[in-house]
Chain A
């Protein structure tokens, strides 16, 4: 297995850490806005600090990715699949960075204190504006949907590479042995 065929170990660690964080985040978000029970409060308490964590990790990851190119996709992949792969990866990067910023901005526009727990509070990044709050809140909802659907496509495609094509693309991120 050559190094050129797998992601850098640091990129792999970041990928799996963020996969867990982002998937948790999507479920936390969906659960918290549809509950009036006690879990609404503790899900909200997780949502904000986890969102900022994802934001920071996403910036580190983006920086690393721009300086450490991903292994090339198999040469025999159809062009449309390659295009879909690249587009969906950059969409995921965009959402990882945009979603926390929109959440932060939306709380700022709603004039809510942006509390992260343990006495930590972030400064507002937007002026107090109710209409802006509403736009950002709805953007947060619909982009979360887009995020989840992109995740489904991502995991479906990853499994297709690993189980059907067996072309080493899945292993480039799992770090396991490439199939023969």
Chain B
């Protein structure tokens, strides 16, 4: 340009360079802090999934929790009874297709069905307008802990000792002693038995949500899906079969579709909306929103549920998250698990390949 010949070196050049360096380093440090690299104590989604993976073992391609499961599909037949409380289009009378997954907790996809007394049911409702509702429910009344940090600490406390393959009993004991909020869960699990079937269980959202009605009013709810199938009469699990749940499901689906009722339970004044360790009294107003009809199943290796992240914060208009901190934590952690398993499926560099055949 015009003036390069007249330009002289600046005064205090060292300080000027130092200022430039400081600005650049300041931005880098701030980014490093926000991104967690300079904040090693922060609980991140990665650390939660690492802890689950450490407990469940390395199983490329599988979910890091609830690793063992089966894809199911069918529809939701809305009764219309909930339409007054939520503008979500699926609650108007009519059918909405669902892609679901029945599973057991834990990170080992080869665990015996009798190894845990809990079953889970995840659903994705595909609304006609392109919206989705995803929910992951468990057949238990409460969650053991109310925060992500406590969940993480529970994973560490129940980490199997490499020498024995079992957790050091002192650690869970110390954890539960330090976490009195686990009392309701511990009281329940003491008498809980592994069910012989997925289809006789009642699955609960456990976390609370809000419904939003047409008048913009919010209603705090939890939901559960209650089976039409009676709990008795199937004679218990087949002895020696670690995969009896899948066999039972196939047998029952061979006889006809399976049905659950989607029941919305409304909180009363004072019921905890942000604490999954606390039950609501049994007399709360309940609205039967309709029937979930499951008419087919498929192995998860190539079934339609395999690549679904059942993130419970993916909601249609008319349903909103509550302030329950577990919901955000589940969303963040599921995303990390989903990226790991899809990276393994996609054979991204640096990832372990899923096994083609299961033992």
Contacts and interface: CB of A to CB of B under 8 A. Distances in A.
Contacts of A180: 3, 6
Contacts of A159: 19-20, 23
A134 interface: yes
Interface string A72-109: 10111000000000000000000000000000000000
Contacts of A168: 1, 3
B345 A36 contact: no
Interface in A1-51: 5, 26-27, 30-31, 33-38, 40-41
29 contacts: A5-B1, A27-B34, A31-B34, A34-B34, A34-B45, A34-B46, A35-B36, A37-B325, A37-B328, A41-B328, A72-B1, A111-B308, A112-B314, A113-B131, A113-B314, A119-B317, A121-B130, A130-B307, A133-B342, A152-B27, A155-B24, A156-B24, A159-B20, A159-B23, A163-B19, A165-B7, A166-B10, A167-B4, A168-B1
B189 interface: no
Contact of A36 (B1, B30, B45, B339): B45
Contact of A128 (B24, B31, B307, B331): B307
A131 B130 contact: no
B343 interface: yes
B128 interface: no
Interface of A: 5, 26-27, 30-31, 33-38, 40-41, 72, 74-76, 110-113, 119, 121, 123, 128, 130-135, 137-138, 148, 151-152, 155-156, 159-160, 163-168, 180
Contacts of B317: 119
B332 interface: yes
B338 interface: yes
B126 to A, nearest CB: 9
B231 interface: no
A33 B130 CA distance: 26
A134 B132 CA distance: 21
Interface residues of B, number: 55
A137 B333 CA distance: 15
A36 B27 contact: no
A48 B49 CA distance: 24
A19 to B, nearest CB: 12
Given A74-B1, A165-B7, A168-B1, A30 B348 contact: no
Contacts of B329: 36-37, 40
A74 B280 CA distance: 72
Interface SS, B side: helix
A131 B45 contact: no
B44 A131 contact: no
A111 B307 contact: yes
B345 A121 contact: no
Contacts of A112: 132, 309, 314
Given A27-B30, A41-B321, A34 B36 contact: yes
A173 to B, nearest CB: 15
Interface centre among B27, B323, B327, B331 (most CB of A within 10 A): B27
User: What 5 pairs between A and B have smallest CB-CB spacing?
Assistant: A131-B346, A30-B35, A34-B36, A130-B307, A76-B4
Contact of A134 (B17, B28, B348): B348
B289 interface: no
Contacts of B130: 113, 121, 123
Given A30-B35, A111-B308, 6 more contacts: A34-B45, A113-B314, A134-B345, A156-B20, A164-B17, A180-B6
Nearest to B129: A121
Nearest to B350: A138
A38 B274 CA distance: 12
A134 B343 contact: yes
A40 B313 CA distance: 12
Interface centre among B148, B317, B328 (most CB of A within 10 A): B328
A30 B16 CA distance: 30
